[in-house]
Structure 1
Amino acid sequence: MNRPALPAPAAFGKVAVLFGGTSAERDVSLRSGKAVLEALQRSGVDAHGIDAVGDFLQTLKTGGYARVWNAVHGRGGEDGQLQGALQLLGLPCTGSGVGASALAMDKMRAKQLWQGIGLSTPPFQMVTAAMVATETDAQAVFAKLGPILMVKPAHEGSSVGMAKVRTAIELQQAVIEALKYDASVIVERFVSGPEYTVGIVGDEVLPSISMETPRDFYDYQAKYHSGGTTQYHCPSGLSAADEAELGALAKWAFDSLGCKGWSRVDVMRDGSNQQFYVLEVNTVPGMTETSLVPKAAKVAGMSFEQLVQQILLPTLAQ
């Protein structure tokens, strides 16, 4: 496809790169923000880093900034709160707006929407500690959803608080652990098969990436502290037809939530029926040295410096 041409770096004006924040993903966000900031500066953009804590909104208001590159992962940065505050300040921001950010961050409501429009996503339900208080209660969840389940905080990213469970006791323990991160917990059927992720930048669907980890699933440790044991494949090895199907599914999930600018869509493929299932859409995906969108962008012919400017480009029209 024809990728939009980048303007002269000065066209972006003074750019604030927001990172850090106070969510469970703060450490990853600090690394993402540092990488984005340095790439923008190497490209000649007048970019300045700001940790999204304390009175950072006042700093943005009085600092003469023209726009914001948002690298704040998780709650407070990816769930519509920051987007709403920046909208009130009149500052254009990378990525999705208030509504799409909030919807994508809420795994339950995103999946309810996908169910409603017929987009494939694993069967799921919300649970509380009381709903799995007894072994009989927990076994009822397995009876409804399947023999292996994934337990997830409904409003966290980077696999924070997630667990793969096979027994009633494991389910009870996993729900209690997930509730430490969120008041809402989702349980969904585990899809046994390869995992893929698809980056979207503007209207461009990037090549898919497949992930392999020796761990039980692609958890926080596998993502950020694997010591090289997690393997990434891009191209992912899919046939042209399957790649097109996966890309179209990812774009459908992205568009259905009203996402804009860029995102990363996580998908599983069932090893038995070969069907793709969307897990979630990440509206502020990682931009660290191990992150997936930069890997796919590189295969698509985009340098990291070009990528961060392409993500910033739509803010010129806001």
Structure 2
Amino acid sequence: MKVAVLMGGWSNEREVSLTSGRGIVAALKRLGHDVYAVDMGRDVAAKLSEIRPDVVFNALHGTPGEDGAVQGMLDVLGVKYTHSGLATSVIAIDKELTKRILVPAGIRMPEGVVVESASVHERDPLPRPYVLKPINEGSSVGVAIVTDESNYGSPIAADAPGPWAQFDRLLAEPFIPGRELTVAVLDDEPLAVTELVPTRGFYDYDAKYTDGLTVHQCPANIPEDIAAEAMAIALKAHRALGCKGVSRSDFRFDESRGLAGLYLLEVNTQPGMTPLSLVPEQAKYRGIDYDTLVSRILEDAA
């Protein structure tokens, strides 16, 4: 097939997307496809109209490749594309909208409140410790954990570095102590549970994409009932949101509370495909090599 790989763009996750895209391009060439690497720009519709691909492999992360904008454009162009469609992408990138779909479906998520960023300099939106995060960013971009011991001040100082300086609105959630878990779903099947153990701090953007800053334990060393529940929730969320191809669900697990301590944080509809990414790692654990993973995602779209 003639495949255009969309990568790069202008989001905070541009460099990660370029790394994902380069890996996908190489795999597609090994698989014998006619491949065009497209660094996402404002002229992307014109470029795709010139290439006339059979399928677009969406390797973008963050906006506008993960929030429905690119999906809507491709729908208008009448081009098939990988991963989730327009409506799913709009909902899943928005953490508040995601809760509105998944919590009524019986999926446990942290209770949260959306606040104007300027308000956090007047009062804490929740009792400490709590988490502040952008409503529609991925890869732990702009996440801050506010504790009694943090150096942000009480209330948070206006000049303290953090997401309140980058985003107009933030989601505040109670901080859940415990362990970081993630589950990939491929072709409507959960693959495995991975535990993410940062060697310092917490699992932020740098920890995700800097080699040596996070240990991936796949499969996670957790009780069988917790692993089974995490995979069941990931599949349920994948289906409830209408995800296609591949998704990845992230969890916090407070083991002192057993099953009641397992919380879904978010669902990623455009998970990374870099050498450090979790989906290829879980696929490999299940006997699916990188090229086969790329092929399966492409075939689902085609």
TM over 0.5: yes
Amino acid in the other structure paired with 2:67: D
Post-superposition offset of 1:114: 2.4
1:151 corresponding residue in structure 2: 132
- Given that 2:200 and 2:213 are in contact with CA atoms closer than 8 Å, whether structure 1 keeps it comes out as no
2:263 corresponding residue in structure 1: 277
Give the secondary-structure state (helix, strand or coil) at the position aligned to 1:113.
Answer: helix
CA distance in 2, matches of 1:75, 1:177: 20
Amino acid in the other structure paired with 1:228: G
1:114 corresponding residue in structure 2: 102
Structure 2 residue 195 is the aligned partner of structure 1 residue 210: yes
TM-score by length of 2: 0.93
CA distance in 1, matches of 2:275, 2:155: 34
User: CA, structure 1 residues 69+164, in 2 after alignment: closer, same or farther (shift >3 Å)?
Assistant: same
CA distance in 1, matches of 2:273, 2:70: 18
User: CA, structure 1 residues 155+181, in 2 after alignment: closer, same or farther (shift >3 Å)?
Assistant: farther
Give the secondary-structure state (helix, strand or coil) at the position aligned to 1:222.
Answer: helix
Structure 2 residue 186 is the aligned partner of structure 1 residue 201: yes
Count of residue pairs brought into register by the alignment: 296
CA distance in 1, matches of 2:267, 2:276: 18
Post-superposition offset of 1:71: 0.5
Note the 1:111-190 alignment, pairs <5 A. Answer: 111-134=99-122, 137-138=123-124, 141-143=125-127, 147-167=128-148, 169=153, 172-173=156-157, 177-190=162-175
TM-score by length of 1: 0.88
Amino acid in the other structure paired with 1:62: E
User: CA, structure 1 residues 132+244, in 2 after alignment: closer, same or farther (shift >3 Å)?
Assistant: same
Post-superposition offset of 1:18: 0.5
CA distance in 1, matches of 2:153, 2:240: 36
CA distance in 1, matches of 2:157, 2:83: 36
CA distance in 2, matches of 1:124, 1:215: 26
CA distance in 2, matches of 1:267, 1:239: 15
CA distance in 2, matches of 1:262, 1:171: 40
Structure 2 unmatched ranges of 5 or more? none
2:240 corresponding residue in structure 1: 256
Note the 1:31-50 alignment, pairs <5 A. Answer: 31-50=19-38
CA distance in 2, matches of 1:181, 1:88: 32
Superposed CA RMSD in Å reads: 1.8
- Given that 2:121 and 2:157 are in contact with CA atoms closer than 8 Å, whether structure 1 keeps it comes out as no
1:9 corresponding residue in structure 2: none
CA distance in 2, matches of 1:183, 1:83: 25
Structure 1 unmatched ranges of 5 or more? 1-12
User: CA, structure 1 residues 53+107, in 2 after alignment: closer, same or farther (shift >3 Å)?
Assistant: same
My pick for the range that moved more, 176-185 or 299-308, is 176-185
Post-superposition offset of 1:208: 1.1
CA distance in 2, matches of 1:173, 1:233: 37
Give the secondary-structure state (helix, strand or coil) at the position aligned to 1:83.
Answer: helix
Amino acid in the other structure paired with 2:207: A
Amino acid in the other structure paired with 1:42: R
Post-superposition offset of 1:118: 2.6
Note the 1:280-291 alignment, pairs <5 A. Answer: 280-291=266-277
Post-superposition offset of 1:222: 0.7
Pick the aligned partner of 2:44 from 56, 76, 80.
Answer: 56
User: CA, structure 1 residues 90+243, in 2 after alignment: closer, same or farther (shift >3 Å)?
Assistant: same
